[in-house]
Amino acid sequence: MTPNYEQMSFTELRAYVIENRDDIEALRFLMSKRDPNSPKYPAPMTDAEMQEQMEIIRRKIRGEL
C-alpha cells in the first residue's frame, strides 16, 4: 500500500524518503515541494570545488549560514 504523500507534512515526507530510499515516487513528490528560492549549487568539477562545497555543507550544519 502506497502512503498518501499529499497528507504528509514536509518533515514526515522527508523522513519517509530517508527510510524508503527506493520509493522514487515519494522522492519525486518531495522534490516538487522544495523551496524554489533556495540556493542552487552547481555540480563540482574539480577536487577544489568539491572541497569548497563540503565546507559550505559543514557551515550549514553548524548553523553558520
Domain enclosing residue 60, as ranges: 38-65
Compute the average pLDDT of residues 21-37.
90
Residue 1 pLDDT > 90: no
Query: Can you give the pLDDT at residue 39?
Result: 80
Q: How many CB atoms lie within 10 A of CB 26?
A: 20
Distances (CA, A) of 49 to 39, 53, 55: 16, 6, 10
Q: Can you tell me whether residue 4 is helix, strand or coil?
A: coil
Instruction: Say whether both 51 and 64 belong to one domain.
Output: yes
Instruction: Say whether both 48 and 28 belong to one domain.
Output: no
Contact predicate 31/21, CB 8 Å:
no
Instruction: Say whether both 52 and 25 belong to one domain.
Output: no
Distances (CA, A) of 56 to 34, 36, 48, 50: 19, 19, 13, 10
Could you report the per-residue pLDDT of 31-52, keeping only the tens digit for each? 998 888 888 878 899 999 999 9
